[in-house]
Structure 1
Amino acid sequence: MTVAPRFQLKNGTLHAEDASLVKLAKEFGTPLYVYSRAALQDAWDSYARALEGRKALVCFGMKANSNLAVLNEFARLGAGFDIVSGGELARVQAAGGDPKKVVFSGVGKQVWEMQAALEAGVKCFNVESEAELERLSQVASTSGRVAPVSLRVNPDVDARTHPYISTGLKENKFGIAIEDAPDVYRRAQTLPGLNIVGVDCHIGSQITEAAPYLDALDKLIALILNLRGEGIELSHLDLGGGIGIRYTNEQVLEPTTLFSQVFSKLDQAGLGHLELVLEPGRSLVGNAGVLLTEVQYLKHSEAKNFAIVDAAMNDLLRPTLYDAWHDVEPIKPRPVTSATPTYDIVGPICESGDWLARDRRLELHQGDILAIMSAGAYAFTMSSQYNSRPRAAEIMVDGARSHVVRQRESIASLFENEYILPVTD
């Protein structure tokens, strides 16, 4: 198991740290999300080592995993948070996070969300359009507050990743074209209720090479120096997130490798004083979690073999949405031979797109428990109740101990806020 070091075979059984996944599946049922606390710490430490001795703030991109226990763990470690909604801000506060370490991203901030963020005292609003800039000025002025502002610029850099998670090209909805940014900064200077503090850029997700970051950084440095020449001094540079993880055989970009080059470029440009803000999500949680699922039926045919499991696209949408690969590991693996069939791992949802993995050579029996690996990011947060399926429980493992950090939903909870129309004559 090289993909997720905190999930290893011990005595022929897959464990999360020192907790048997067999026992967790029996105790809590399946589908089941299981996270490793130690894996969260490992991932955080990789950034801490890369940023040691520099002025930097790591803001966890919490859209990847917004469980309160996960957020609280990162808050304890000193993290800030990258949020994209008022609901995410409320989660940060409920988890004990510091709003002064929160950057508020997102293209569609509503008035109530701006008001809540101003009242909480967030570190910065990453503004993504001129219209948003105007609205934020009005909201801040009306409330008698000053909004710290960073413009998210779009550098038109290809992140060389899946088009659905590429965010730095001209055709993407995010940010302000970098060639238009100087005019927007000038406009921001004239608006009441705003304090210009930084520049922000996020080019995409699951990036496995440094070149796209460095290409974007060159453009940002040129912009910052241009603004300085006009008397607009910034205090931070937000380089976003997007470092990829290993799902199968990807060559992972290590934070130390990337940020040593980033700091070198900033120092050479005379910008080493700037605070570096980062927004990692997947790289902090992706390989800290698995999704456990039980094989319900094995279905063999001339064209295809199916392992029908109790997890589905409502539990893990990424394969259907992105054609994403997740490793599949039996909790108690059997030897694979040349006679072992290949299976598509599919769920019970009434959609042809309901699949979790394709063409996997596995020696399976009905009732086996499988671990869908690398499910710590964009699994539960993208889950739904489609087909009236209750969302699964979330468990956090800490050594040999396990903690329920989100209860499994009940059938009754699916419609507890729905109402039948009254009878009419």
Structure 2
Amino acid sequence: MDHFLYRSGTLHAEDVALADIAQVVQTPFYCYSTATLTRHYKLFTEALSPLPHMVCFAIKSLSNLAVLKTLGELGAGMDVVSGGEYMRAKAAGVPGDRIVFSGVGKTRDEMRMALTGGIRQFNVESEPEMRALSEVATSLGLVAPITIRVNPDVDARTHEKIATGKSENKFGIPIARASEVYAEAASLPGLEVIGIDVHIGSQLTELEPFEQAYTKVADLTRQLRAEGHDIRRLDLGGGLGIPYARGNEAPPLPTEYGDLIKRTVGDLGCEIEIEPGRLISGNSGVLVSRVIYVKEGEGRDFLILDAAMNDLVRPSMYGAHHDIVAVEEPEPGVDTHTFDVVGPVCETGDTFAKARPLPQLKAGDLVAFRSAGAYGAVMASEYNTRPLVPEVLVHGDHYAVIRARPTFEEILARDTIPEWL
């Protein structure tokens, strides 16, 4: 569910007409709904009750400070994968004891940043990282709380580029080697082993892969406790998918996911962490764009928009589907026309959809890409020297620009011409 609905013939974000925002902000722009962000976060907290738990929002899905502050004030923790994301979480007012540091390539500088600034835990991905973290923590006179990410060799049945839990993926240590790796971690002076971490992929649309992974984690918990480790926290990752295409079968609900967690690991007495990103942020955002031209081609017609692959790269990168709707509501029963929906970037890959049935749109009309809140603005670039898309946050009948579109002058000023030129 989201809070983008037609009212009086115009698509609204909560109580604000998207057309009104477009008139002021210009297109393209991202628009997020506070009510949707709030509702989806609360679904997870309610699903895990009464287990001790923390819902850590995956910042990589949507990292704007206003969004992070919105979730942080609800009590959310943050899952970060870089020093920059750590700084974003802190800048949004989230305390260090609610920040989890994940990622396979943490640098020593990032480790120092988190250790001195405060951290809930590091999710350690490899033995070299584990040893480096111990050295950094010891040099600071500190002890780093860690979980170790295990790779359970479970097929998440998702896109190959976002699967993370199979043996050939770069993430975590093989679960079969967990015993020896945990033994080494316990021997290192700068580390405190507190739990286990697992994450098998993103955009999962069924629960069975989660069940396989969490059952293995439960068995490993019992084994490691028998070996003398105080396993008191389980970080179960994120990955629950959303329905990108209206009318398709919906992925499992957070309540069903919560029931699975309780069934598989709920009897272990551990604090549970989850790291949802897409399910909180995905349906909370839309990308609004304007039609530049309608072009007749050989055997197909093109809808050329002012948004491009640099603004929303998911269709080009993953072959991802986004529902595209007219901002002005079509009359019931109106005839549709089939378009290839494309952007202005000089790449054939700058294609959002092929043979998509849409109302008979014309130049100047507004369209909205639904379910664009996750991995939209965060993956945007300035390819073709196209300014980054502004972001707008709606709260009831108010809205604010939470990231402005840079001017060309600001973009050019970031470059430096050397003195010999």
- 2:125 is matched with 128
Q: Aligned partners of 1:423 and 1:96: how far apart in 2?
A: 45
Question: Which of 322, 339, 342 pairs up with 1:343?
Answer: 339
Matched, 1:397 2:384: no
Tell me if 1:209 matches 2:188: no
Q: Residue 47 of structure 1 aligns to which amino acid in structure 2?
A: F
SS in 2 for 1:144: coil
In 2: Cα distance, 1:334 partner to 1:50 partner: 37
Question: Among 294, 297, 305, which residue is 2:293 paired with?
Answer: 297
One-letter code of the match for 2:230?
A: E
User: CA deviation digits over 1:8-39, x for unaligned, max 9?
Assistant: 11111110111001111111100010000000
What are the Cα deviations for residues 122-163 of structure 1, in whole angstroms up to 9, with x where unaligned? 010000011101111111111111000100010000111111
Q: How does 1:177-216 map to 2 (within 5 A)?
A: 177-216=174-213
TM-superposed deviation, 1:335: 4.2
What is the aligned partner in structure 1 of residue 238 from structure 2?
241
**What SS is found at the alignment partner of 2:56?**
strand
Shift of 1:120: 1.4
Separation in 2, partners of 1:70, 1:400 = 17
Indicate the larger mover: 335-344 or 116-125: 335-344
- Distance in 2, Cα, partners of 1:291 & 1:250: 23
| Cα deviation code 1:289-326 (max 9, x no counterpart) | 00000000011123221100000001100000110000
Contact 1:201 1:240 in 2 (8 A): yes
Q: Quick check: 1:256 aligned with 2:252?
A: no
Q: Work out whether residues 6 and 329 of structure 2, in 8 Å CA contact, stay in contact via their aligned partners in 1.
A: no
User: Is residue 2:60 matched to residue 1:72?
Assistant: no
Pairs within 5 Å for 1:361-400: 361-362=357-358, 363-400=360-397
Provide TM-score, normalisation by structure 1: 0.96
The aligned length equals: 418
Q: Give the superposition deviation at 1:260.
A: 1.3
Equivalent of residue 334 in structure 1, options 330, 337, 347: 330
Given residue 355 of structure 1, which amino acid in structure 2 is its aligned partner? T
Contact 2:197 2:236 in 1 (8 A): yes
Partner of 1:115: 112
**Which residue type is aligned with residue 377 of structure 1?**
A
1:275 aligned partner: 271
Output the CA distance in 1 between the equivalents of 2:104 and 2:65: 24
CA distance in structure 1 between the partners assigned to 2:215 and 2:65 by the alignment = 37
Residue matched to 1:89 = 86
**Contact 1:33 1:292 (C-alpha < 8 Å) held by counterparts:** yes
Residues 336 and 361 of structure 1 are in contact (CA less than 8 Å); yes or no, is this contact kept in structure 2? Answer: no
After the TM superposition, list the runs of 4 or more consecutive aligned residues in structure 1 that deviate by more than 2 angstroms: 264-267, 333-341
CA contact (8 A) 1:75 1:98 kept: no
SS in 2 for 1:351: coil
Which residue in 2 is equivalent to 1:317?
A: 313
Unaligned runs of 5+ in 2: none
Which of these residues, 149, 160, 184, is aligned with residue 157 of structure 2?
160
Show the counterpart of 2:354. Answer: 358
Distance in 2 (CA, whole Å) between partners of 1:352 and 1:261 is: 43
Cα distance in 1 for residues equivalent to 2:420 and 2:104 = 43
Give the Å deviation of 1:69.
Answer: 0.4
For each residue in 1:190-232, what CA deviation from the matched residue of structure 2 results, as whole angstroms up to 9, or x when unmatched? Answer: 1111000110000001111111111001111111111111111
Whether contact under 8 Å (2:215, 2:265) holds in the other structure is no
Amino acid in the other structure paired with 1:313: M
Residue aligning to 1:101: 98
Matched AA of 1:239: L
Compute the displacement of 1:106 (Å). 0.4
Identity %: 46
| Residues 19 and 281 of structure 1, relative CA distance in 2, 3 Å threshold | same
Alignment TM-score, normalising by the size of structure 2: 0.97
Give the aligned partner of residue 53 of structure 2: 56
Name the amino acid aligned to 1:360: R
Instruction: Give me the whole-angstrom Cα distance separating, in 2, the residues matched to 1:281 and 1:201.
Output: 15
**What's the CA shift for 1:336?**
7.9
- Alpha-carbon distance, 1:274 to partner: 0.1
Deviation at 1:410, TM superposition (A): 1.1
Q: 2:140 is matched with which residue?
A: 143
For structure 1, list consecutive stretches of 5 or more residues without a partner in the other structure: none
User: Match of 1:47?
Assistant: 44
Deviation of the 1:337 alpha carbon: 6.7
Contact 2:44 2:258 in 1 (8 A): no
Deviations 1:261-302 (A, max 9, x none): 2212224xx40x100000000000100000000000011123
Does the CA-based 8 Å contact 2:123-2:147 persist in structure 1?
Answer: yes
Deviation at 1:357, TM superposition (A): 2.1
In the TM superposition, what is the alpha-carbon distance from 1:338 to its structure 2 partner? 8.7
Distance 1:148 1:228 in 2: 17
The whole-number CA distance in structure 1 between the counterparts of 2:92 and 2:2 is: 27
Conserved 8 A contact 1:208-1:250: no
